[in-house]
Structure 1
């Protein structure tokens, strides 16, 4: 009986070790929560869905990514503040809203500082060049780690109130802006009345007449169903915006190096995918605008030159507030 008791005890120990090992494996699984404000089907949203797919596949399920899109957890600013504190693992912010966290990002709000013709040079500098290194260092100062510089696109002015075919047509329009001081100043230089409103509240503000204009990519406006209230648009392309995915740096640093590598590599591959689909989605958005009866005016070269001239003073206005080094790094991509 004593012998049998020993066998039973050994069996219980073996079973306990198996369950213990299983529990240990389970304990090693990581869940990363990612909050962003973008609408379903948007190019940025699709990029984060690809990121989730790649991370979970390459980690063999050891890392799970939970996506909370469409401002479910709050605006860019709210989710980024949560990520800084560590109550959220990752958040995505438009480059204008990142100006709340680092003045370096104000550079991208300067009107016409970049152009579609030099987009690939900008990408190269962000992904593997000195511009990306500079911004990464700035983010690390505020406990954030860059994962993806998603292509958001060039912003265009749209209106619910009146036809916009020229610079003069923008005068006195109540335009929604982000809290970016550069974006507010640009709107003022164009004779508009800037009204900073969080993204999740813009549709209602347009409906109720709190604002009667905004500046955004055609793609996002279509995905967010703003086309239901918009009537007029122009291809002002007055500034390029990104949606920047950042992770709490302490959280990133705490991960096993192989998991860090999976996240960063998946971020780059998801970024390549995301940028690759953006142009097509923008074309589809233009078609959707037209199908909805929204009139889109294409600026002539002369009209675009008027916009550039009218907004150029903002460069001087913010020259002392934006670090000179990042100004130079961005301008170098346009040569």
Structure 2
């Protein structure tokens, strides 16, 4: 039994004796915590959730928001708080979910999603329900409520060399997060993956410890990485999903009408947190250019070359976790592409 499932099992026993009565109280307060700041789309989405839930429930539900690590100071601490019932709502990245449920690394398979519309369609469909059920089965205490976005797309940004093809990555020291699948991607492209903690990236770029990074444009500009990064290639190798979780016992302890209010509130949150990174990216790209940066969009042929070069990452995933999630994800992408194409055909007649 995994650490997370063991923790969840113990928490469930406690909540059966203590949590149900509190959840049914007339004035239930839901606590949301995350590590980002008030400038993040996560905070804006949480504000929309709070406004919707409190107004629609006529005060029967209240929402408290704890940004900046004020409730829990790191991802493991926040995860533990969610699973043992001290925290009601928490957000993870794709990589963060993989810490609970390792097969979830499929969400970061390179070039899985072609664009925002397809990714959003997929995350509004059956694949999200499949993830929800798998985590409830394996972890037991966390219910997936919605998937939004936390920064746009991961792109390759460098200090002194424009990347237009996989060959241009050869030998480059690229900062990655510690996730296996991100490290495997840099290896597949011929680069040297260098995991570095987020607070140390700025200095590492300035001193040459790394020659580039793989981040969304809003994160780059928020951290002033444009002081050192001078080139971005919009290869879009990973959609930066944000998964919103609610403690399962807290959710199930709500009366049905409040469950619906909370669920609908998450859909309002999701729409807000998906749109804001797109709007913020407009100003962020301009700030990057104003700092002397160059932005490049790979051609269709170059994008195909990146996809071909990244195939070993897919092979690595299949060797470790099989094809179940690959097939489910590719099927969902194909279905959404067909649906969006039919929508366009109907609208353009």
Question: TM-score of the superposition, structure 1-length normalised?
Answer: 0.81
Q: Is the 8 A contact 2:92 2:243 kept in 1?
A: yes
1:49 shift after superposition: 2.5
Equivalent-residue separation in structure 2 for 1:160 and 1:111 (angstroms): 22
CA contact (8 A) 1:97 1:178 kept: no
In structure 2, the CA distance between the partners of 1:179 and 1:86, relative to structure 1 (3 Å rule), is farther
2:158/2:212 contact within 8 Å kept: yes
| Structure-1 residue corresponding to 2:133 | 137
Alignment partner, residue 126 of structure 1: 123
Query: Alpha-carbon deviations, 1:252-287, whole Å to 9, x = none?
Result: 222333322211110012212332344333222211
Who is 2:46 aligned against?
48
Cα drift, residue 181 of structure 1: 1.2
Alpha-carbon RMSD across the aligned residues, in angstroms, is 2.6
**Greater C-alpha radius of gyration:** 1
Determine the structure 1 residue equivalent to 2:249. 250
Cross-structure match for 2:78: 79
1:241 partner SS: strand
206-215 or 98-107: bigger deviation? 206-215
**Alpha-carbon offset, residue 315 of structure 1:** 0.9
Paired residue secondary structure (1:239): strand
Across the two proteins, how many residue pairs are aligned to each other? Answer: 307
Unpaired runs of 5+ residues, structure 2, are: 1-21, 335-349
Select which of 60, 63, 69 maps to 1:62. Answer: 60
Map of 2:338 onto structure 1: none
Identify unmatched segments of 5+ residues in structure 1. 1-23
Other-structure match for 1:15: none
CA gap 1:246/1:279 in 2 versus in 1, 3 angstroms: same
SS at match of 2:91: strand
5 Å-filtered alignment, 1:257-276, equals 257-276=256-275
SS in 1 for 2:245: strand
- TM-score, normalisation: structure 2: 0.78
